[in-house]
Structure 1
Amino acid sequence: MTTALITGSTAGIGAAFARRLARDGHDVVLVARDAERLSDQAAELHDRHGVEAATLVADLAEEPGIAAVEERLRDADRPVDVLVNNAGFGNKGRYLEVPVSDELTMLKVHCEAVLRLTSAAAETMRGRGRGSVVNVSSVAAFVPRGTYGASKAWVVQFTQGAAKDLAASGVRLMALCPGFVRTEFHRRAGMDTGNIPGWMWLDADKLVDSALRDLERGKSLCIPDARYKALLGASRLLPRGVLARASSTTGRRYGPR
């Protein structure tokens, strides 16, 4: 039996990954901050799919939380075969409207935690000659979007670089770059999404299906919808100043969860 560890597992894209991986027969390790929601999720996945569902309460904005997940990923007696780095959040407001402390917290979750957890998982996976890591980024990585977009651009560059370095090791790494997804993410961040056209919204379960297909094909980058692929293709033809103005008026965030 293989095991998948998913951070930010209790909602949105993380929950969709947990459902799909459990349905495919993977035991799961569910990581989030809310112990009660984790317990409920674990019970549901166990009862529905007959897999072992463990929980790990961890806040990836804090050192103890990152260290606890690192320790689990390095446990050779309980190897993790699939890591999904999904935990993340958005700040409401433009640059200098958001406290620097909040920006640094975002970098800790989106960059430091992703680096450390990917490294912990990939090291043990390389020793076994197999394993997969999905790092959830965003289409915001490709447009001027402040600290959020910058952190997600780092996820893409880091993941693709690591994938190249580990190409012959049996370890696959992929950056997943969704657009707007119908989850509780924007509500939690207090973001107004009323001006986002309906056609731009993606379904989390379909998104995960697409992501896992691309992972199986060995891709290091997944943009899981033809509409967003077309948008990003067109964006390469526009001056960055135009992109900056457009992104600042279309919600406060392109991104997952």
Structure 2
Amino acid sequence: MILAIDAGNTRTKWGVFDAQGAMQSNGVWLNSELMQYENLMACIPHEWQACKQAVISNVAGTRLATVIKAKLAQLSISQCWVVPTKQAANLLNRYESPEKLGSDRWLAMIAVRHDYVLPALVINAGTALTLDALDIDKTMQGVFLGGLILPGLHLMQQSLLEKAADLSTLDVQSGDLQRFPLNTHSAIYSGALSAMAGAVKSMYNKLEQHVGLAPLCIVSGGDAAILIECLQSELLIDAKQLVLAEHLVLKGLYFLERSFAEGLPV
């Protein structure tokens, strides 16, 4: 069994994979909760005990990494902490400094390279909104062309509330996605989603122009479903090209570990 851990900006997700790549179990913590556990053994999932190897992506900082390392050490699980490279798992990384690409973005692209037909726009709608363009070259190798990072839905709303005095007491959670909002809650909520959808459409158009055909649009993250709803309701992207995907980073961790084990270029 292989343990995959995705420590994101807000939540830490984990999944246990068997030798065939099927996820046998999975779970999630809020990072704030994970940092508060005094007894580490008390919160270690029992499914981890069958694992000898862990592959970890961390974009949450060193404090959370210390907690995760301690958990794994208590179970004597070997640890591989992912740092993006120039090439891995049949995917070329064109970032100017490959190791500075967020490991979560890199792993999501590795999963998409493995599971879907390229070209594709890989989207994660979480704390941040990331939009990463993938193409394929003549040798059938995947190529990361580049991408965007924007504030996610909550961050967009929160930044407006914090900076505008008249809005500071609003509860934006009560807003709805509307084409012509008639209350401030929905105006902020719909505005943030429209900004996200507009960025997606812009990047999608650039990729479509670059490759000469309509690429897939693979969407994951906590706000993936509502972003897809916005894209569809505004007729920005053909529904046939939109795919809601789960556990992309966890799957990417598994595929990367398998490429290590099989001796493929990393």
TM-score normalised by length of structure 1: 0.32
Q: Which of the pair is proportionally richer in strand?
A: 2
Q: Considering only CA atoms, is the larger Rg found in Structure 1 or Structure 2?
A: 2
TM-score normalised by length of structure 2: 0.32
